[in-house]
Structure 1
Amino acid sequence: MEVVFRGYQSSLFAMTISSSRARQLISRGCIAYLASVVLRGEDDAPRIEDISVVREFCDVFPAELPGMPPDREIEFVVDLVPGTTPISKALYRMAPAELKELRAQLQDLLDKGFIRPSVSPLEAPVLFVKKKDGSLRLCVDYREFNKVTIKNKYLLRRIDDLFDQLEGSSVYFKIDLQSGYHQLKIAPEDVSKTAFRTRYGHYEITVMPFGLANALAAFMDLMNRVFKPYLDMFIVVFIDDILVYS
């Protein structure tokens, strides 16, 4: 249980009084507040689908992306240093449980169109990274590939500058995009440069993946283009986090 005090509090431990003393103080005009503490279990926690706005615009709040993103004004491009030769690295070993998870995630990505079979001479290995909730995120190790990628010089805004915009605001609404990177397509001519190999086949990625150099800059560029009319007015954007303030 967490207790939060708001406003001025001279002492963390308030004085306890009797019910008769409380009645006397109230009768003299003292302001009184009645608070009840309710401990919520996991089953009692509010659900996102119970929010009226979410129900009204259910297509905007999907549990997961249904498939390929629409065409946008920009696509993710991969520029390599001239003269780069194909890069290939050996597969990483995986435990039986990881192999089972790998097979399931590959099938899910294939069904959504996020990956497809590849014949590219490039092949990067894959590995799993454990997320905060204990589930496994499939990642492609593009470290060697990034060494021969021409870096995008798109600069991210300073965090303290973003906070300065919030001065005088008191109402905030935060939006976190669902699989934000997967909402940007890779340029068709560069899809083969994302190839990776697994025990179950050789694939290439059709949407922007984690781990590629310039992915962060490309995504920030997209977000700033989308929200350009509202930036510095009532919206702050940093990567895939959107803050509406008033």
Structure 2
Amino acid sequence: MILGCDWIYQHSPIGMDLKKRTLSITKDGISRVQFSDFTDPGKSSNIDEIKLHKLLAKGVMGYLLQLKVVQPEAQPNQDNSALVSEILDQYAEVFNEPSGLPPKRDCDHTIPLKPGHSPPNIRPYRMPHHQKDEVKKLIKNMLDQAIIQKSQSPYSSPGMLVRKKDNSWRFCVDFRQLNDHTIKNKFPIPAVDDLFDELQGANYFSGLDLTSGFHQVRVKEEDIHKIAFTTHLGHFEFLVMPFGLTNAPATF
């Protein structure tokens, strides 16, 4: 017997006892009707596709059910604001603008090169006057932060500007020729789908928004001369990991 929603709505409230497998209708405090199910709750039957088509052809009613796991929405805790503020105040130095060089670490970036290569030496790209002013400002900032220095390296890659999402400029270097001579790191970058699978069922997420994240990783001293670059202001070299190196994402 199948009881539709309209019937259930009309005769509500309805009592159900899943252990006794009974359903009863009560009106004015008196049990009026009681249905009992004597089927084995652990018993089920399967039907193959061919038999299903035959039954449907005979006019048997069929229903397609799609089950979906619904998780309750996590309710935000309104009492965490004071705790969050306390933690932010305790570690305020973490949110300061970076200045100076980061500490030396075992994971400092290296640039292994193929044997027999010749150092790339490319002239700086031509750029409009307004970009030259921006390059001058960015070079001064990097010199003040001590993340670049003057260079006399035989290596030279051209500097350039790239627009960021907020419409400001990012200083980059065209390291394509240097990358061609670099021994590639085969570290596998995780697939996005795999990362989403790992997050399944999670309710709280955290992330890191680093200021110029690559610049918070140093370059091995023996490799600094390889990432020298030129602009209309002269010849410089990075002391930290710049954008555009082939193995930089793996190091980061």
TM-score range normalised by the length of the shorter chain: 0.5 to 0.7
- Offset of residue 173 of structure 1: 2.3
In the alignment, what sits opposite 2:196?
Answer: 163
Query: Which deviations, in whole Å up to 9, do the C-alpha atoms of 1:56-95 show, x marking residues without a partner?
Result: 3111112x21221012122100111101112111221111
- 1:58 aligns with 92
Aligned to 2:227, which of 184, 194, 197? 194
Structure-1 separation of matches of 2:230 and 2:85: 42
Matched with 1:172 is 205
Q: Which residue of 2 aligns with 1:210?
A: 243
Q: Distance between the aligned counterparts of 1:125 and 1:84, measured in 2?
A: 19
CA deviations over 1:8-44 (Å, ceiling 9, x no partner): xxxxxxxxxxxxxxxxxxxxxxxxxxxxxxxxxxxxx
Count of residues in Structure 1 that have an aligned counterpart in Structure 2: 169
Structure-2 separation of matches of 1:174 and 1:152? 25
Residue 151 of structure 1 aligns with which residue?
Answer: 184
Amino acid at match of 1:92: Y
Q: Secondary structure at the match of 2:208?
A: strand
Question: 1:1-246, aligned counterparts within 5 Å?
Answer: 51-62=85-96, 64-219=97-252
Query: How far apart, in 2, do the equivalents of 1:80 and 1:172 lie?
Result: 39
Q: CA deviation at 1:51?
A: 4.6
The amino acid of 1:130's aligned partner reads: R
Shift of 1:55: 2.8
TM-score normalised by structure 1 residue count:
0.66
Q: Which runs of 4+ in 1 moved over 4 A?
A: none
1:165-197 superposed Cα distances (whole Å, 9 cap, x missing partner) = 222211222222221111111000000000101
State the TM-score, normalized to the length of structure 2: 0.64
C-alpha distance in 2 between matches for 1:51 and 1:99: 42
- Superposed CA deviations along residues 193-220 of structure 1, whole A, max 9, x for unmatched, are 001011111001110011011011111x
Unaligned runs of 5+ in 1: 1-49, 220-246
Equivalent residue of 2:206, what SS?
strand
Question: 1-side partners of 2:86 and 2:136: how far apart?
Answer: 37
For 1:55 and 1:89, locate their aligned partners in 2 and report how far apart those are by CA, in whole Å: 48
Aligned-residue identity in percent: 41
Query: Residue type matched to 2:224 in 1?
Result: V
SS in 1 for 2:162: strand
For 1:213, give the aligned amino acid.
T
Distance, in Å, in 2 between the alignment partners of 1:127 and 1:65 is 23
* Rg larger in structure: 2
**Distance in 2 between residues matched to 1:51 and 1:138, nearest whole Å:** 34
Provide the alpha-carbon RMSD of the alignment.
Answer: 1.5
Give, in whole Å, the separation in 2 of the partners of 1:145 and 1:192.
Answer: 12
Match of 1:244 in 2: none
